[in-house]
Structure 1
Amino acid sequence: MAASIPVDDERYVLESQIRELYGRCAYTHKTHEKMAERASTYLWRVKWTQIILSALTTGGAIGVVFDANSAIYPLATAALSILMLIVNSYVKDIDPGQDAQLHRDAASDIWNVREAYLSLLTDIRDLAFSLDDIRKRRDELQGQLHLIYKAAPHTNAKAYSQAQDALQKNEDLTFTDAEIDAFLPSSLKRARST
């Protein structure tokens, strides 16, 4: 186990900053995942609303054909057609599927940087890595992250709140040794049976 770094040490200060960057990255990654989930759910709802309205409109049209004397079928069909026109007009200029994909892509890119920060946190404890090497790597990661953020779609407070719940309450990024051991061959397990 690595020795802890003294609080007044320059390495400790650098580690503290990288820990902060890692945390921000983790939140941003999870927020983009939540935005993608929200956009996918919205797309699913819109598509099902369109299908249901279309089916009901078709049913009303069939009702008019087979019961021409009824006044309810033409009125219901007209009302459903107007409702379907409103829904289709509302969603014609938005593409929740594309929005979901943009958020998935951003999350994937951010995940890669987040994992690089985690590796850097591990490397900082190795005294073979100089502070200059660590700073250089930190600056490279910051540059990568800037390019990702610049191209990424915006997120909202609701997705951030969901990300916060996932990370703090559901512990999405944490694993017990037993959970990790379940994925590893016996030679790499921490909890060895005796």
Structure 2
Amino acid sequence: MANLEEKSILEDNIRYSYMSVVWSHKIQEKQSDILAGEYKKLEIVRLICNALTSVGLISLIFTDQFLIKFVATMISFVSTLSSMHFKSFDTQNSIINHKKAANELLGIRDKLRILLVKVKLESKDDFELLSEYEYLIKQLDQIYREAPSTTDKAVKKASKALKINGDNSFSTEEIDANLPESLRRK
């Protein structure tokens, strides 16, 4: 390495990028979990509504009560709404897209960790390390551009999962908690 200050600057930036990716990965993961949970609930509601609608329609064969007609119609309406929700929001595709983004971020995270190892071992010169870092940042930018949007709920769940209570500011301890012991500063 050219000098200790340059090494420190590069390492600090890689560490910060690493933690940002850890954070983004967890948010995408939590958003996928939220959508999967909502999907399961709506699917159960839809199945129950379909069953109750069928029972209501069958009971109309044996009776002509207005209340049964009304309840069957309302249940059918809820069933139709949940079906329209599935089609209009394409929840399953959203779940897949969030998981895809999370997996791509996981790959970048691992590459950043390897780059940190190279910095620590001083296995390449500054220019090579900086070039590799710039390449990874370009890949990361592409992932961010294509990643689906997330909700505040996912951010809060990710924050809780990572035990982070700041907004994009990471202490050395927080970064170290997500790195192998040999790459930690303390």
For the superposition of Structure 1 and Structure 2, which TM-score range results when normalised by the shorter chain?
A: 0.7 to 0.9
**What is the aligned-residue RMSD (CA, Å)?**
2.4
Q: TM-score, normalised by structure 1?
A: 0.79
2:40 is aligned, of 37, 44, 65, to 44
Answer yes or no: is 1:32 the counterpart of 2:28: yes
Unaligned runs of 5+ in 1: 1-6, 178-194
1:174 deviates by 4.9
Higher RCO structure, 1 or 2 (CA under 8 Å, sep 6+): 2
User: What displacement does 1:79 show?
Assistant: 2.0
Is residue 161 from structure 1 mapped to residue 156 from structure 2 by the alignment?
Answer: yes
Inter-CA distance 148–43: structure 2 relative to 1 (3 Å threshold): same
Question: SS of the residue aligned with 2:89?
Answer: coil
Of 15, 18, 24, the residue aligned with 1:22 is 18
What residue is the counterpart of 1:81 in the other structure?
A: 76
TM-score (norm 2): 0.82
Residues of 2 paired with 1:105 and 1:151: CA distance? 10
Structure 2 CA distance for aligned equivalents of residues 129 and 105 of structure 1: 32
> What is the alpha-carbon distance in structure 1 between the residues aligned to residue 132 and residue 76 of structure 2?
59
- Encode CA deviations 1:47-81: one digit per residue, 9 max, x unaligned: 11111111111111121113x24333222212222
> 1:100 corresponds to which residue?
95
Q: Which residue of 2 aligns with 1:129?
A: 124
Q: Does 1:119 align with 2:114?
A: yes
Cα deviation digits, residues 90-127 of structure 1 (max 9, x gap): 44311111000000001111100001111111110112
> Aligned partners of 1:14, 1:165: CA distance in 2, in Å?
29
Larger Rg: 1
Q: Match of 1:21, as an amino acid?
A: S
Amino acid at match of 2:101: A
Letter of the 1:26 counterpart: V
Once structures 1 and 2 are overlaid, which stretch shifts more, 69-78 or 43-52?
Answer: 69-78
Give aligned pairs, total.
169
CA distance, structure 2, for counterparts of residue 84 and residue 128 of structure 1: 62
Q: 1: CA distance between counterparts of 2:159 and 2:61?
A: 55
